[in-house]
Structure 1
Amino acid sequence: MTIRIGYFPNNNSLFVLRHNGLLERRLPEVEWVDLRELPAPPRADPRTGLPTLHSDWLFEEGGYDFIGTGFTPPITGLGQGRDLVYIGISGPRVENGRLVSRAGSGIRTVADLHGKRVGIAHGSWQTTLALLALDREGLRWSDITPVDIDVNEGGAALLRGDIDAWVGAYPALAEVEATAQVHTLVDTDGLFSHPSLWFVRRDFAANHHTELQAIITALQESDAWIVANPRDAARFFVDDARRRGGTADLDRWEAALRGRPFGINPVTDEFLDEQQRCADLLHTNGLLPRTVAVRDAVLPWIGEVIEANRSATAV
């Protein structure tokens, strides 16, 4: 059976694994599905809903069996009634990005965002960060004007004045910092742990133990390789951007990779508590159509497999 794995640059671990060939040594029948080549899901109004983004393609013909994303997509999938299960999480990525405004804009605190335009890659971890920041100040989602914007385009929109604040991530945030001064409204640290995470359909986890273990082991090996070879790993991202007609800076990508945690770890109670709190907030603010119980998406044996592999492939 051919195992289909979805990948894109935003999940650094799977993107590098796609290019370094380590999975094929363990699982020869692999098909890599570039998420950027799939038909885009319907855009959701960022004021009233969440796009499904990645979880739908787990359940569609021509999609994939295994995916890695950021914090929000599995909550969205569960909220849409998708029967998915968590595989594992990375360490905290609190240095990866933050909510910023232009220096001198007069927007100095999150409270100042009332009625303002906030740029986010809607449906990603950026939605969660903005919502948590607002909630901490006693604000609701309806108190801002969320603007759905690509993660690589938000910085330019901020500098043009098209948006008033932006949840920026490196390396795109570094490009803005190199040309203009920004003011930090809130750091990720202290709001949530912001890990990478991986998930699959429940039926895939139940019926493909051997294949799933091979993917987990290869991810651990590949992440260890990234830590030991960050510049070589960065070249995969730069080469990809250039093949697609764009530009990317090797030094900035290397710095971004050096600043991120790698390794796939079992889901923890602390992570699940964060997921549940965010799921509840998303529902309360009208972005999720139903309440979810995130612990229903946990299969304990998967954590045991990850833990057993960590001693051999520790990052």
Structure 2
Amino acid sequence: MTVRVGYFPHNNSLFVLRHRGILEQRIDVEWVDLRSLPASPEPDPTTGLPTLHSDWLFTEGGYDFIGTGFTPPITGLAQERDLVYVGVSGPRTENGRLVVKADSDIDSVAALKDKQVGIAHGSWQTTLLLFALDSVGLTWRDIVPVNTSVTDGADSFRSGEIDAWVGAYPGLAAVERDLELRTLIDTEGLFSHPSLWFTRRDFAEQHSEELAAIVDSLRESDQWIVDHPREAAEYFVRDVVDHGGDASLDAWEAAIRNRPFGIGPVTEEFLDEQQRAADLLHANGLLPRPVRVRDAFSPSNQTFVTS
């Protein structure tokens, strides 16, 4: 069979694997650029979450396997999608943080009440902001969330259109060069923020050889990234330029050097963290129903990442 693998730059491992030609040596694969798929209707960031990743995992012509950040599989489970986790990376706590300008009168997370906060809504940034608010007794309704892309968020933050921003590297590095910032809360100590990979339950049960080939290829490619971070960064810079933007090779290399690579097993600690996020998302009106994240845990899948 032809396995359709979804990829985009925000999952660094799959993005590099798509360019390395490793997986093609093991299985018949078709790469699906998530940016080429029709987007789900953008929800109001005060009341819902985007469902793009899980929508296309369960749509004919979509993909069979995907890697994302922390929040999308929770969204899929809330849409009653029968997805299962395959593996997770190590913590990516150096990837980003919640910041304001140094001269802002916002001096704490508690001071975000009624303020506009920029996030890539539906990504790990939603979870980070929600965890941060919960840590000081605030809810989603206490702030004004603004959905931004990485580029739009940086521009809106610079111009003062938003009061605070969950920035991620390498985009955050460019803002750091232009502005003096104050960190309201770091990712480290708040949540582990791993990359994670998931698939449909039927694919995991019926195509174990193909799934094992994907995991093996990711491991091989991730080791190449660790050994050749600057060469890996060139893939991302070239992609940004090809899409009409500007990118710093040094900034991308620094970001890659600070990220963990490798796919490991789903742990109890990860599931507990996902459940806490799911509970908070539902309590704050961002999910249509409660979620049990352990419904997406399949012990048989763990043989792929522990062997």
Gaps of 5+ in 1: 309-315
What's the counterpart of residue 208 of structure 1? 207
Residue 25 (structure 1) aligns with: 25
2:7 paired residue number: 7
Scaled by the length of structure 2, the TM-score of the pair is 0.99
Counterpart-to-counterpart distance in 2, 1:177 and 1:190: 22
Contact conserved, 1:55 with 1:82, CA < 8 A, in 2?
A: yes
Counterpart position of 1:72:
71
For residues 296 and 133 of structure 1, what CA distance do their matches in structure 2 show? 26
Alpha-carbon separation, structure 2, partners of 1:120 and 1:188: 14
Structure 1 range deviating more: 207-216 or 152-161: 152-161
Aligned match of 1:192? 191
Counterparts of 1:194 and 1:295, CA distance in 2: 18
Q: What percent of counterpart residues are identical?
A: 67
Distance 1:26 1:193 in 2: 32
* Distance (whole Å) between structure 1 residues aligned to residue 188 and residue 267 of structure 2: 18
Task: Output the amino acid matched with 1:75.
Answer: I
Match of 2:242 in 1: 243
How many Å apart are 1:304 and its aligned residue? 2.0
Q: Deviations over 1:266-306 (max 9, x none)?
A: 00000000000000000000001111111111111211221
| 1:174 corresponds to | 173
Q: 1:53 aligns to what?
A: 52
Whole-angstrom distance in 2 between the partners of 1:305 and 1:214:
9
State the TM-score, normalizing by the size of structure 1.
0.97
Amino acid at match of 1:104: D
What amino acid is aligned across from residue 156 of structure 1 in structure 2?
D
Q: What do the CA deviations read for 1:92-135 (whole angstroms, capped 9, x no partner)?
A: 00000000011101111000100000000000000000000000
For residue 246 of structure 1, report the CA deviation from its aligned partner.
1.3
Contact 1:53 1:123 in 2 (8 A): no
SS in 2 for 1:152: helix
1:86-101 equivalences in 2 (<5 Å): 86-101=85-100
Letter in 2 for 1:26: R
Give the superposed CA RMSD: 0.6
Separation in 2, partners of 1:295, 1:219: 24
Superimposed CA distance per residue, residues 5-45 of structure 1 (whole angstroms, 9 cap, x where no aligned partner): 00000000000000011111111x11000000100111010
Q: How does 1:1-315 map to 2 (within 5 A)?
A: 1-27=1-27, 29-308=28-307
Q: CA deviation at 1:235?
A: 0.5
State the 4+ residue runs in structure 1 displaced beyond 4 angstroms. Answer: none
SS of alignment partner, residue 32 of structure 2? strand
Where does structure 2 lack aligned partners over 5 or more consecutive residues?
Answer: none
Amino acid at match of 2:11: N
Cα distance in 1 for residues equivalent to 2:304 and 2:24:
20
